[in-house]
Amino acid sequence: MSDRPLQEPTLLLLTALADEPRHGYGLIQEIDAISHGRVRMRTGTLYGALDRLLQQGLIEVQREEVVDGRARKVYALASAGRSTLAAETARLRSVVEEAERRLAGRRASAARPKGALA
């Protein structure tokens, strides 16, 4: 039950499952597409993350099938995964926007310390 923020590979996994269920290898390809080729997820990361996410109840095995003699497990985003993804997305968005504001030179939302100096 770690409340720790999702790391990027995990975030991409949930995102890749957000539109439709996919199997492991398909997730690798989808993440490649989402990230415009910048993230090539390794199987070591993938199956470790899938196990973890299954255990946390964020995803579930929708079905198992055999296509062209090759076995597949098809994973789907569970409702807990959907709300977690939504929450993480909102949180990340606010961090990203704050960073952009500061990079643009504008001082924003974050309160300045009370005993502030010159």
- Footprint of DNA (CB under 7 A): 2, 4-10, 23-26, 29, 41-45, 47-52, 67-73, 115
Residues engaged in binding a second copy (CB under 8 A) = 5, 7-8, 11-12, 14-15, 18-19, 26, 29-30, 33-36, 38, 82, 85-86, 89, 91-96, 98-100, 102-103, 107, 109-111, 113
Report, in Å, the least distance between residue 109 CB and DNA. Answer: 20
The encoded tokens of residue 99 equal: 């960073």
State in angstroms the smallest separation of the CB of 13 from DNA: 8
Taking alpha carbons only, the member of 65, 85, 63 closest to residue 75 is 63
Angle (deg, nearest 10), helices 8-17 and 24-34: 110
Residue 62 binding target from DNA, a second copy, none, CB below 5 to 8 Å by type: none
Question: 3-state class of 40 per DSSP?
Answer: coil
Do you know the residue count of the chain? Answer: 118
Residue 73: CB atoms within 10 A of its CB come to 12
